């Protein structure tokens, strides 16, 4: 079953085509890695999928339902959640308070479970600004996972983490996707991390899909190597 389908997504900033006729079909339970050089349009695509930017052309479907006209909150209520490239936590609130607010917004009560799942219980009563950066990124993920969404759009959830921490976060995601059948679109710049956990990879380059497929196939694609992997080392 296709969990998330996007077709003909185009986005212009002035005269610049940030996305040109992008198609994306993500199966239920799949982890899709979304990669591409800086400025390729990854965040712009996540914005279009999540409804953060309504001004694009094309169509977005969630489990076959057309959600193109829906707001981010409406999409969230239907089970489509996201995180941001820069953390979206409120630094002055406690961890517990933020999880409670996120839970209330989606009509959920599993606040302790979600804190437990993301290893946040020891920090539950700490102010978010006071916990470590790695814990803040886990809080970010926990906020996105509150209410058990069906599809998660994650824009560099491991940004700023060490390689070891990134790998741990990725393994956590992998386990979660498997256990709950959550579908994940993961923007991640560390190739080792994304190739190790993704079921399939989509490569964007200046707003178009350059390649798509299983990680090994994409990794071996000469166009991908030339456009991206070669320069990334």
Ligand X SMILES: Nc1ncnc2c1ncn2[C@@H]1O[C@H](COP(=O)(O)OP(=O)(O)OP(=O)(O)O)[C@@H](O)[C@H]1O
Binding ligand X (rule: CB under 6 A), the pick from 39, 58, 119, 215 is 39
Nearest approach, Cβ of residue 121 and ligand X (Å): 32
38 binds ligand X (CB under 6 A): yes
87 binds Mg ion (CB under 5 A): no
Binding ligand X (rule: CB under 6 A), the pick from 22, 26, 36, 209 is 36
Binding ligand X (rule: CB under 6 A), the pick from 24, 31, 33, 42 is 42
With the CA atoms of 32, 179, 64 and 200 taken in that order, what torsion angle do they form, in degrees rounded to the nearest 10? Answer: 20
44 binds Mg ion (CB under 5 A): no
CA distance 217 to 213: 6
Site size toward ligand X, by CB under 6 A: 11
Residue with tokens 């490569």: 203
Closest to Mg ion by CB, 78 or 229: 229
Q: Identify any residues that bridge with 26 across adjacent strands, giving them in sequence order.
A: 4
221 binds ligand X (CB under 6 A): no
93 — alpha (psi -120 to 50), left (phi > 0) or beta? Answer: beta
> Which residues ranging from 83 to 122 are in contact with ligand X (CB under 6 A)?
85
Binding Mg ion (rule: CB under 5 A), the pick from 11, 35, 43, 49 is 43
Closest to ligand X by CB, 174 or 189: 189
- Cα-based angle 188, 191, 195 (whole degrees, multiple of 5): 90
Nearest approach, Cβ of residue 233 and ligand X (Å): 16
| 95-105 helix and 133-145 helix, angle to the nearest 10 degrees | 20
Question: Which DSSP symbol is given to 54?
Answer: -
CA distance 37 to 39: 6
> Which residues ranging from 90 to 109 are in contact with Mg ion (CB under 5 A)?
none
User: In a 3-state reduction of DSSP, which class is residue 18?
Assistant: strand
Nearest approach, Cβ of residue 189 and Mg ion (Å): 9
Q: Are 88 and 154 in contact (CB under 8 A)?
A: no
Task: State the residues that interact with Mg ion by CB under 5 A.
Answer: 42-43, 85
Q: Where on the chain is the footprint of ligand X (CB under 6 A)?
A: 13, 18, 36, 38-44, 85
């Amino acid at each position: 079953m296709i969990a998330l389908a996007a077709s003909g997504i185009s986005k212009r900033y002035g005269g610049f085509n940030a996305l040109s006729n992008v198609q994306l079909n993500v199966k239920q339970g799949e982890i899709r890695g979304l990669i591409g050089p800086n400025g390729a349009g990854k965040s712009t695509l996540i914005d279009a999928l999540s409804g953060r930017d309504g001004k694009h052309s094309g169509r977005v479907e969630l489990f076959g339902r057309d959600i193109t006209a829906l707001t981010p909150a409406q999409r969230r209520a239907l089970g489509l959640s996201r995180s941001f490239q820069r953390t979206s936590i409120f630094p002055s609130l406690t961890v517990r308070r933020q999880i409670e607010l996120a839970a209330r917004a989606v009509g959920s009560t599993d606040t302790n479970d979600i804190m437990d799942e993301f290893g946040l219980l020891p920090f539950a009563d700490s102010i978010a600004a006071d916990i470590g950066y790695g814990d803040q990124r886990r809080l970010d993920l926990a906020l996105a996972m509150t209410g058990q969404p069906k599809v998660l759009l994650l824009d560099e959830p491991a940004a700023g983490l060490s390689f070891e921490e990134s790998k741990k976060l990725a393994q956590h995601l992998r386990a979660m996707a498997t256990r709950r059948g959550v579908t994940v679109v993961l923007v991640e710049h560390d190739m080792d991390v994304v190739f190790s956990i993704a079921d399939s990879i989509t490569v964007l380059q200046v707003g178009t899909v350059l390649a798509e497929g299983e990680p090994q196939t994409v990794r071996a694609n000469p166009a991908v190597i030339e456009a991206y992997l070669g320069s990334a080392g």
